Amino acid sequence: MRPYVFTEPITTARLRLRLMDSADVDDIHAYQSREDVCAHLLYSPRTRDEVVGKVTGFAKRTRLEHTGDVLQLAVERIEDGRVLGEVCVTIRSEDNATADIGWVFHPAFHGRGYASEAALALLELAFGTLGLHRVIAELSPANTASVKLCRRIGMREEAHFVQDVLVKGRWEDTGVYAILHGEWLAARRNGHRRA
């Protein structure tokens, strides 16, 4: 794994993945405050003040080098500067060159390919830039949109843990999806799954 410091936004055909800043708070609060968005997440709907605190903290995290390092990025639509959601990369194991990826998008922007485009950019960062061996996504199997997204970007289901995590007072299942560096390379060679 190669150490990485985020200094420039990641740009795709329609999106810019960049550090969050205070100007993003209203757009981020618009989805982080929703029950339907938070239903499959580890946190409950957030107040505006809670979002301000999170954005401030995430904006300071720019390095991916060691186990536990997190890079949380705003997903901005290039055409109008609107923040549609967010994505993250977390180094799960520096020694095993493995990271977690995740995403959250405002429901108003579902079904337009934005999440796929952003997730593919994360895979490019993880494999192409960081040189990781393996990328996983852990999610609620009830979150069918995220399950479909994992499959769309070439990840396969590796595990389904039953009632393994206590979330908001309830035992919940966890699905684990993964893709290896070699699988990502093969998909790219075949012209598939590009951002």
Q: What is the CA radius of gyration of the chain?
A: 16
Bridge partner residues of 7 (DSSP): none
Three-state DSSP at 3 gives coil
Distance CA 11, CA 118 (A): 9
Residue 46 gets which letter from DSSP?
A: P
* 57: in domain: yes
* 195: in domain: no
Confidence band of 195 (pLDDT split at 50, 70, 90): very low
The predicted model scores a pTM of: 0.92
Tens digit of each residue's pLDDT (9 = 90 or more) over 146-182: 999 999 999 999 999 999 999 999 999 999 999 999 9
Q: Which CATH number does the domain housing residue 64 bear?
A: 3.40.630.30
* 194: in domain: no
Average pLDDT over residues 4-21: 97
* 19: in domain: yes
Average pLDDT over residues 70-99: 98
The answer to whether 24 and 83 have CB atoms below 8 angstroms apart is yes
Q: Could you give the number of structural domains in the chain?
A: 1
Tens digit of each residue's pLDDT (9 = 90 or more) over 104-138: 999 999 999 999 999 999 999 999 999 999 999 99
* 42: in domain: yes
Whether pLDDT at 92 is above 70: yes
Q: What is the pLDDT of residue 188?
A: 84
Average pLDDT over residues 27-35: 96
Whether pLDDT at 96 is above 60: yes
Angle at 123 (CA atoms; ends 118, 125), nearest 5 degrees: 95
Average pLDDT over residues 89-96: 97
Q: What is the pLDDT of residue 192?
A: 60
* 129: in domain: yes
The answer to whether 139 and 177 have CB atoms below 8 angstroms apart is yes
Whether pLDDT at 191 is above 90: no
Tokens standing for 39? Answer: 């239903």
Q: What is the pLDDT of residue 131?
A: 97
Q: What is the pLDDT of residue 189?
A: 84
With a pLDDT cut of 70, the percent of the chain lying above it is 97
> Residue 129's domain spans which residues?
4-189
